[in-house]
Amino acid sequence: MPLRLYNTLTRRKEDFRPLDEKNVRMYVCGPTVYDRIHIGNARPFVVFDVLYRLLRHTYGAAHVKYARNITDVDDKINNRARERGVPIATLTEETTRWFHEDLGELGCLEPTAEPTATGHIEEMKAMIETLIAKGYAYAADGHVLFSVAAMNERPPIPGHTYGLLSRKNRDDLIAGARVDVAPYKKDPADFVLWKPSPPEIPGWESPWGRGRPGWHIECSAMAGKHLGESFDIHGGGLDLIFPHHENEIAQSECCTGKPFVGIWMHNGFIERGGEKMAKSVGNIDRLRDLLDEFPPEAVRLMLLKTHYRSPLEFTKEGLQTAKHELDMFYTSLRVSEDVENKDAPVNQPWLETYLVVLEDDLNTPMALTELLGMRADLNKAIYEKDPKRSGSLRNTMRAAADHLGLLQNNPQSWARWQPKSAAALDESKIAEFIDLRLAARKAKDFKEADRIRDELASQGVVLEDGPKGTTWRRAG
């Protein structure tokens, strides 16, 4: 069964057919680097990481290119640097590093390209000059603006008029545009491609004076530079459909005269109490804080338990449930790996059945259900002392989970994870207690051995005696 993806442009699922199977290309809008990301910001990066993994599996890693940009030119950045009293470069370098650290802990693969806006100013200016030359943009009062009317009068591609992606009418377009209604605009719906910069904020020399790019032209220029004039998939959150992605289509297609993107994909919002999570509302949870409180894989699992196009209601109880579910998976893996052959063959028919589920528009909830079925069969094989079957099921479950970026930890390491805020015994101290308990048991001082076990239990450490000796895990 071919990969099927929901295309926002057509409002239906479509078979994914790349322009070139040897060069499959995907672009995802990255962060504006002025602050740590919150859990709502993190959702698209996990969703499209799963898609990236699936594309690599289908077409081969060498044939898939994934570009995810860094927006390091933006008024939010300028304002935050001024508030903190730090140079803009210091702020963007710091927040970019935080972004990489957080996504690394979440298990997201690195993209094949990560362009920055500041590294592509020349490409942006070249696009703007082309749009002016073709009559789709105009300079006014130090600004350059895209003309929506010009695009609608002369669509670069038949039927591709402004508003095709968002399905908004003219009144909605004007009311919803993230632009000021300024006297230099020919039409209220026109949007900024270039704007003047005062001396105190970043700016670059251009034919229209010292200035900086508008937000939308940044992604068009970066995507075009790294993926070409036309590519396969463009992803982001629902809030980017208009005006950002609508404007990307307009300026890119008017510049090149070619279709910009084959499939547009958008993930739903994360909500809290039925309201979209947003910094402006003040109902956010920073990803860094959650990663300090919960295992990163639990955060990732929570994000994948709801289909990417649906809203996701966030609660910390949901994270605790995800951790408990992973505890059970890792317990099965640990018991299996203690006694079974690690090189047992993967059950390919079962893995292919699992992939068919995932290939149906990234149906991660159903894929997780399949994983639960594998775990139940693995537990049964362990109970029945069937080493051949349990080894195969274990490795099949691992291979399947890898497509979701889950079960990436060593079971023992998982069992020993603790929140950064926890005041718990360190591993060297626990090892000392285990050695003392072992000595007490050898001396047949079982009362002392039990006392040590109970002392560790009181501090959240559970001992487990097995054929290969004593192991331990954190309680909870």
DSSP assignment string, 180-235: ---TT-SSTT-EEEEEE--TTS--B--TT-SEEE-HHHHHHHHHHHHH-SSEEEEE
**pLDDT of 262 strictly over 90:** yes
Average pLDDT over residues 85-90: 94
How many residues belong to the chain? 476
Position 14 confidence tier, pLDDT thresholds 50, 70, 90: very high
User: What confidence score (pLDDT) does residue 433 get?
Assistant: 63
CB 17 within 8 A of CB 276: no
User: What confidence score (pLDDT) does residue 205 get?
Assistant: 97
Per-residue pLDDT tens digits for 425-463: 567 767 766 765 776 677 676 776 677 677 677 666 777
Burial class from Cβ neighbours inside 10 Å (0-12, 13-18, 19+) for residue 180 reads: exposed
Average pLDDT over residues 192-221: 96
Q: In whole angstroms, give the CA distance from residue 193 to residue 216.
A: 7
Whether pTM exceeds 0.85: yes
Position 371 confidence tier, pLDDT thresholds 50, 70, 90: very high
Per-residue pLDDT tens digits for 337-358: 766 567 889 999 999 999 999 9
**pLDDT of 468 strictly over 80:** no
Mean pLDDT of the chain: 91
**pLDDT of 224 strictly over 90:** yes
Q: How many CA atoms lie within 13 A of 102 on its CB side?
A: 25
C-alpha distances in Å from residue 207, one per residue of 214, 221, 236, 278: 15, 18, 32, 37
C-alpha distances in Å from residue 246, one per residue of 225, 239, 242: 19, 11, 5
User: What confidence score (pLDDT) does residue 45 get?
Assistant: 98
**pLDDT of 422 strictly over 80:** no
Percent of the chain with pLDDT over 70: 91
Average pLDDT over residues 410-429: 74
Percent of the chain with pLDDT over 90: 75
CB 326 within 8 A of CB 298: yes
* Helix, strand, coil % over all residues of the chain, rounded to 5: 50, 15, 35
- With tokens 């937000």, the residue in question is 215
User: What confidence score (pLDDT) does residue 111 get?
Assistant: 98
Position 91 confidence tier, pLDDT thresholds 50, 70, 90: very high
CB 177 within 8 A of CB 169: no
Q: In whole angstroms, give the CA distance from residue 339 to residue 341.
A: 7
CB 297 within 8 A of CB 290: no
User: What confidence score (pLDDT) does residue 35 get?
Assistant: 95
- Pick the range with the lowest mean pLDDT from 172-176, 205-209, 281-285: 172-176
Phi, psi (degrees; rounded to nearest 5) at 110 = -70, 140
**pLDDT of 177 strictly over 60:** no
